[in-house]
Amino acid sequence: MRTLLFMNVILGLSWGATAADLAPSLQWVKTTGGSGNSSVAAAAADATGNLYIVGSTTSLDFPITPAGTPVAQTTAGGSMLVRIDLASASASRLFPANLPPIGVAAAAPADPSILFAASGSQIWKSSDGGSTWSMISQFAGGVSVSGLAVDPTKSTTVYAGTPTVGINRSIDGGATWTAINNGITSAPDGSIRVGGVWVEPASPNVIFTSTAFGLARSTDSGATWKTVGGGNSFSAVAFDPITAGTLYFVDGNTISKSTDNGETFVRVSPLPDQTALFTLAPDPKHAGVLYAGTSAGIFQSGDSGATWSLKVAGVTTVLAADPNSPAFYANSSGYGIVKSTDGFATTSPIGANEPSVRQLIVSGPNLFEISAPTTDAFLMKLDSNGNVVYSTYFGGSGSDAATALAVGSDGSLYVAGTTNSADLPVTAGAYIIKLPSAHGGSASFVLKLNPDGSLAWATYFTETIVSAIAVDSTGNAYLGGASGGGLPTTAGAYQTDFQQSVASSGFFGVIGPLSAFVTKFNAKGTGLVYSTYIPTDNQKNTVAGTQALVVDAAGNVWIGAALNPGIVPTGIGASVVKLNSTGSAVLASAVQAGLGNVAALALDASSNVYVAGSTSQAAKFPATPGAFQSFPLPAIPALIYQAPSGGGLDAFVAKWDSSLTHLLAATLLGGELPDTATSVAVDSSGAVIVSGYTDSKAFPTHTPFQASFSSRAGFVAALDSNLSQLMFSTYLGDGRPFAVYGAVPDGSGNILVAGSTLSPGGAFVGGDNGASFSVGNLVVANKIALPPAPLVRLDSVQNYASRLGAPLAPGEPVTALGAGFGNGAQLMLDGSPLVTVSASATSIVAVVPDTAATSGVHTLQVSNNGTLSNSVYAPAAAASPAIYSADGSGAGQGYILNSDGTVNSPSNPAAPGSAITILVAGAGQYTLSNGFAVTALMPAVFINGFYCNGIAAVVGPVAGLPGNVYQLSVFVPDPAVLANNNPDLKNFKFPAQSGIQLLMGPSNASNFANSPMVSQNGIFINIK
């Protein structure tokens, strides 16, 4: 039954009228982003085919329209490096080309023009006071640098602390490095964990470093070390600049003092009220005076730490003293830099307001602020050929991000976002001209760009989360999002008071409270037309947020609402709410369990409402009769010891009528792993365009132009208006993880797409193993034409064993699925026909040649009596392993032979310690040695995560399977042997059904499942 269900889900997705089939064709690809991280938030198109993209970037060199173009902002609002002239107090935000985020920096006391900075494993140097920088060295193996110090008498001698290879010293200005760890205790794994490094100003041969095993000291410039104190690698040292040999050691909230250059330490008095201590700085002009930056503010001690008094209230994490004057500098209240020359009796602001300063360095005539990278919003417009019309920053010194956009009928761009910048470039007469949140807290902003990219108006909004924006025909902007209270409301609005109450999940504690809201601005951004909370829908469900918003021709607002969001799913599904044109009443609402998160809304010509997003696992999906996909793909079966599992989250599209009375259609769109829809649109023909991202290799594709090339890929697809037929569907992206955040019709029959490449992570959150794909790298825009599909249609090419769209490896048997094939059809690889095993009207089984490329890109087509299908690009690989399943479904019981040659099964399990043989497709190229197969890549088998010792492999035919089959024999691990090596496994016993996987290539037993060349999940072996 599993085989039939699986194949029905896979193959049944392709049915539909061929008259509606389209063949997407990539017209152009444009990329931008600069040297930092850039993420797309949303995209839209105007009636003439221009594409608008907004998002956020940390790039200080994000490509901006050339000088002379009237764009809103030509430089980033914030900088990680600010130089303040101490004589004039003037500040300069520096934007050095290619300088990455600074982790830690140090100045050369002997030459104030020289600065060193570490970014990850890289060492950078400036010789002109921070104006320009060059990378001078890099530690091998991804070693990161956690501390830097420069010899006070020799600017060519530099020390670097690392959390893995200890202390390193350079005597040539950072060009080359030598480890100096004699006497520093190493960890059990051999690493030497070091944090900061400090050089005694009066005795440069005396150096301290914080290590994982305590404070270490060297009296011979690092040649030898001795542990002299407690603490860990996060501890810190501060020298008394007046009294030689006196220093202070900070370990957490404990301060100790040494008067013998670190030979011995004595604790001083703690700070009052268990205040968290962040930094300590002795006064260079007054003996015995200390300043402490804490969670409560700046404390002063006039007696070397015996007593303390609060001088300035407000969180202070960084302090710096000017050795040449009475001046002290601090980032008081966590926002902006203040200066004091009277022991913090008074303070005055100095320099730029950088809200995330993490280091202050006084170097000669300058003060340098080192900040964490901040984001700016970026706003860009491309013409129909992908040429940049304008590209601009928008932001201040803090972190700013665009979250939503809308395009007016005249080509004006309306953008909403978040900010904690107090110096956002708002316009005169704006609705709110000052940041409404205190001490660097977040608020929202709204702006309008003229069609040429110049700023029409910009305003702060309140401390709300704005998720959506729309604009009507007269230029009024509508905002939707979530508010925790404090929303400015207007008389006569639907709900003027915040009504939500604090809720608890019963397990995770208090959640919320939040309320959805809709606010309508006037066309000049100077005031509100109306503003209202939407605390509940007509079904009395709590509405906690507006996640999507559209405005119809009559001015009614339709919102996609979040109902009772929380960590524990409630089972209550997505809601659509319709608000009247004056914001005074909810006209209708609809709720449907199982739909989950709403990401986007669209209206058709009849005001039917389409909703797209990702499903809720708390309730069954409400697929309607005739839906394209009614069930999640059950690619990974439940084992005896596991809870049932399916494809995780799936993308969905649903359609309500204009009265929100009837759910007209609802379909899933997903594969064996998480899939999410991020946008939905309706084109002039009524086709429903949906886009998003997927981790699935069995995502439903239809006349695609490419396969998946990465662990996460974008997708764009079109469904008919009844959501019953897939008109086209294709993956998007290259070898980097990628997500699409907008796909919109251009008015001429094409689709415009925008997305971001992503940085992969290792988190597994909420069933989504890609949940940590959160940092964008590069902005990508595409234009896709939609000609009719050819008579011969290629939909996907799958590994024959796994039934997944895996990379193509030499010797791999594959199945091509589509339509119009016929008995004489052939699968073509790079223009050459493959050996056909079998063919039908909808499928071809063939074998990739042993000589096929092991890297790069293959082009696949089907030829049927000279008629060619659409071309599909697919990745080549040295291996693409998959274990055959006993029933041919690609999941469940593996096709595995026990030591006696019989097939493994629940009634015929393998004994621990016995030999087994697994049957594999896609093991890659091999040679023969004495009759045994030796693959180009080393195989490694794991059962339930335990490595299996290998025996040998052979290659040859197996009845019922295509081509020559790689047959690998290994031993099942014996728990008794495992227990001998690890006493914690004394009572371990393999589950009766244990997962088994094959890795080709370098083996890392602790992380083998994340290899790109590992066999599919969901195959198990029965063990006694």
pLDDT band at 564 (very low <50, low <70, confident <90, very high): low
Read off the pLDDT band of 698 (50, 70, 90).
very high
Q: Which of 104-108, 130-134, 220-224, 630-634 has the lowest mean pLDDT?
A: 630-634
- Alpha-carbon distance 860 to 677, whole Å? 27
DSSP code of residue 217: E
pLDDT of res. 763: 38
The Cα–Cα gap between 853 and 851 comes to 7
d(CA 325, CA 89): 14
Q: Which pLDDT does position 1002 carry in this prediction? A: 79
Q: Is the pLDDT of residue 13 over 70?
A: no
| Across 193-219, average pLDDT | 96
Does position 771 have pLDDT exceeding 80, yes or no? no
**Could you report the per-residue pLDDT of 805-815, keeping only the tens digit for each?**
999 999 999 99
**Token pair of 1005 as six digits:** 């037993």
For residues 953 and 275, give the distance between their C-alpha atoms in angstroms, rounded to a whole number: 65
Q: pLDDT tens digits for 448-494?
A: 999 999 999 999 999 899 999 999 999 999 999 999 888 999 999 99
Q: Averaged over 482-511, what is the pLDDT? A: 74
Residue 441: the pLDDT is 74
Q: Which residues of 120-137 are buried (b: 16+ CB within 10 A; e: fewer)?
A: ebbbbbbbebbeebeebb
Confidence (pTM): 0.88
Share of the chain above pLDDT 90, in %: 76
| Residues 427, 455 contacting (CB under 8 angstroms) | yes
Check residue 499 and give its pLDDT.
85
Residue 507 has pLDDT above 60, yes or no: no
Mean pLDDT to the nearest integer, 883-890? 95
Rounded CA gap, 19 and 886, in Å?
A: 38
Assign domain 793-875 to its CATH superfamily: Immunoglobulins (2.60.40.10)
| Residue ranges with strand state E in 683-791 | 688-694, 713-719, 726-732, 738-745, 751-759, 775-785
Q: What is the mean pLDDT of residues 383-405?
A: 95
Residue extents of the structural domains in the chain: 1-32+621-784, 793-875, 882-1022
DSSP-assigned states of every residue in 85-138: ETTT--EEEE--TT----SEEEE-TT-TT-EEEEETTEEEEESSTTSS-EEEEE
Longest dimension (CA), the chain: 95
**Reported confidence tier of residue 1009, pLDDT bands at 50, 70, 90:** low
Half-sphere exposure in the Cβ direction for 792 (13 Å, CA)? 26
pLDDT band at 775 (very low <50, low <70, confident <90, very high): low
714-757, pLDDT tens digit by residue?
Answer: 999 999 999 999 999 999 999 999 999 999 999 999 999 999 99
pLDDT of 563 above 90: no
User: Which residues are CB-contacts of 773 (< 8 A; sequence separation ≥ 6)?
Assistant: 712, 737, 739, 758, 759, 760, 761
Could you report the per-residue pLDDT of 899-911, keeping only the tens digit for each?
A: 999 999 999 999 9
Q: What is the pLDDT of residue 561?
A: 86
Tens of pLDDT along 145-195? Answer: 999 999 999 999 999 999 999 999 999 999 999 999 999 999 988 999 999
User: What average pLDDT is seen over the chain?
Assistant: 90
Q: How big is the chain, counted in residues?
A: 1024
